[in-house]
């Protein structure tokens, strides 16, 4: 089985390197992990050590307890330089996640951490897996740095859009163009559960509706004010429209006084 060296840089995707180390170890590969100081703000070194069974190196001046050996290999008797010995024993070196900052340092040849120093000293196949905000990834500077690494024979594993990136893109799209038709605002789709009286007259405006009770129209109280176009007699509303029209006709027949 292979000896895989994993470099972890600072980024929200650092937790996925735990699963990478777990799956590689499960398949029988020997895994060692290097971390940048920023990576330790997202995931702890103890988590990797519990999975791989080997100490995690975070500083190029740190002494390696296993002297560069991978799990299952004998520990050498001499005490070599840690960042040189661990890459000398590796069959492949993968930086995952590779942040925009780390990619820029690799392209420029900057060696200021255990991850970047070991990368320059590694003669085994080297791979980087970019993981960052989509706008940072599409920036011309990041794309040029990745192109530089490809020209040097370094394998770049293209990223995929994750759930967080999809949510951020959807939020920006909604702010710019409004919500999509399949994501309406307000009341969710479904039956209208608002209470309505079964005897309400939907064709008449609200101010012309009768007073409705649980069993139909509710009689008005005796002596209460009558609505226009009607009269109140014995608590019941009586339509006075025909009588008024008849009286108006009689006045018109008599003529002006």
Residues tagged active-site: 169
CA distance 101 to 38: 11
The strand pair at 212-213 and 216-217 is best described as antiparallel
- With beta carbons less than 8 A apart as the criterion, state whether 14 and 97 touch: yes
Partners of 233 in the beta sheet? 236
The overall longest dimension of the chain from CA atoms, in Å, is: 134
Q: What is the DSSP string of 161-215?
A: --HHHHHHHHHHHHHHH---TTS-SSSPSS-------TT--TTS-GGGSPPEETT
Residue from 55, 4, 57 nearest 26 by CA: 4
- With beta carbons less than 8 A apart as the criterion, state whether 127 and 115 touch: no
CA distance 103 to 51: 26
Q: What is the DSSP string of 69-131?
A: PPTTSPPPSS---HHHHHHHS-SEEEEEEE-HHHHHHHHHT---SHHHHHHHH--S-EEEEE-
């Amino acid at each position: 089985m292979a000896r895989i060296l994993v470099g972890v840089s600072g980024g929200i995707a650092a937790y996925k390197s735990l699963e990478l180390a777990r799956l590689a170890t499960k398949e029988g590969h020997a895994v060692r992990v290097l971390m940048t100081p920023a990576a330790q703000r997202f995931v702890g070194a103890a988590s990797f050590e519990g999975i791989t069974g080997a100490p995690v190196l975070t500083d190029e001046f740190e002494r390696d307890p296993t002297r560069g050996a991978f799990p299952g290999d004998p520990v050498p008797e001499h005490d070599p330089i840690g960042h040189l010995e661990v890459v000398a024993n590796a069959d492949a070196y993968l930086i995952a996640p590779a942040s925009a900052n780390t990619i820029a340092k690799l392209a420029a040849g900057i060696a200021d951490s255990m991850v970047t120093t070991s990368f320059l000293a590694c003669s085994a196949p080297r791979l980087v897996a970019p993981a960052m905000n989509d706008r940072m990834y599409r920036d011309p500077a990041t794309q040029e740095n990745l192109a530089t690494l490809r020209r040097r024979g370094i394998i770049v594993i293209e990223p995929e859009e994750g759930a967080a990136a999809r949510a951020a893109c959807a939020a920006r799209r909604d702010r710019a163009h409004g919500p999509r038709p399949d994501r309406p605002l307000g009341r969710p789709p479904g039956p209208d559960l608002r209470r309505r009286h079964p005897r309400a007259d939907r064709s008449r405006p609200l101010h012309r509706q009768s007073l409705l009770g649980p069993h139909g129209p509710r009689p008005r109280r005796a002596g209460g004010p009558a609505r226009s176009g009607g009269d109140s007699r014995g608590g019941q509303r009586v339509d006075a429209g025909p009588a008024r029209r008849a009286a108006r006709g009689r006045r018109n027949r008599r003529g002006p006084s």
